[in-house]
Chain A
């Protein structure tokens, strides 16, 4: 039911409290969430890499810090969220080009992205 006042209020785009939660919706939200996380982590890691490549002392210091429990957690977190963001990003690019836009394919690709991320997260947790 539309009233005249309702028409003048601008639409507020992510209606998280209105729509029912689904996997595809969770994928989109997590894409933003992982993007925000990487925003904080990736510049730090690039800075770390540049520091490590310019000074031997810093290289040794950074390596010992990265192999500490906190450093390992940071590397794992970055790897996992980066992989999720990349895989889901490829999914979004395919959708933009018009591939896999049907409901079945959307849900299937979302499931595949989640499974791949989960698998690599476990592998990394063991390897790091």
Chain B
């Protein structure tokens, strides 16, 4: 590669590019595995108890956390590139990117809480609340 002549205003372009590739490789390993589990559940090959055992086991939690982290990283770098390419109004771009970063941190934090906290949490929809009342907590 040629030596770059203009690093851009923030000088972080290469790091973004590099971490996008790193997270891509991590996702390439973990995401198909998780999606395979999802499809197996969808087709009825894996039941509730096996799924519960896999995803609440410490190693399952650690793998989920690595997946979550690399997903957030890939999401951030990819979205940043798209926004920087298509939104040419600088102030709007900065505000949008910061909002997205905040949103990512909140969603990532919530997902990490769900992975690590031993809680049975609900969909928070009327139908489920009704079902829970009728069937009781199983």
Q: Which A residues contact B (CB, under 8 angstroms)?
A: 12-14, 32, 35-36, 39, 42-43, 45-47, 49-63, 66, 75, 79, 82, 86, 89-90, 93, 96, 128
Q: A46-B67, A86-B31, A89-B28 are in contact. List 14 more A-B contacts (CB 8 A).
A: A32-B82, A39-B79, A46-B68, A50-B111, A50-B114, A51-B121, A54-B52, A54-B121, A57-B128, A61-B128, A63-B41, A66-B42, A93-B21, A128-B42
Assess the B107–A43 pair: CB atoms within 8 A.
yes
B115 and A50 within 8 A (CB): yes
Nearest CB of chain B from residue A82's CB, rounded to whole Å: 6
The answer to whether A93 touches B24, judged by C-beta atoms less than 8 angstroms apart, is yes
* Complex partner residue of A82 from B24, B35, B75, B132, CB under 8 angstroms: B35
Q: Give the distance in Å from the alpha carbon of A35 to the alpha carbon of B78 in the complex.
A: 8
> How far does the Cβ of B41 sit from chain A's closest Cβ, in whole Å?
7
Measured between alpha carbons, how far is A51 from B124 in the docked complex, in Å? Answer: 11
Report how many A-B pairs have Cβ atoms within 8 Å.
96
Residue interface bits B8-24, CB-to-A below 8 A is 1, else 0:
00000000000001001
> Complex: how many Å from CA A89 to CA B27?
10
- B71 near A36 (CB under 8 angstroms)? no
The complex places the Cα of A52 from the Cα of B37 at a distance, in Å, of: 12
Question: Can you list 14 A-B pairs with a CB-CB distance of less than 8 A?
Answer: A14-B85, A39-B78, A43-B107, A46-B67, A49-B37, A50-B115, A51-B121, A55-B120, A57-B138, A61-B123, A61-B131, A82-B35, A90-B28, A93-B21
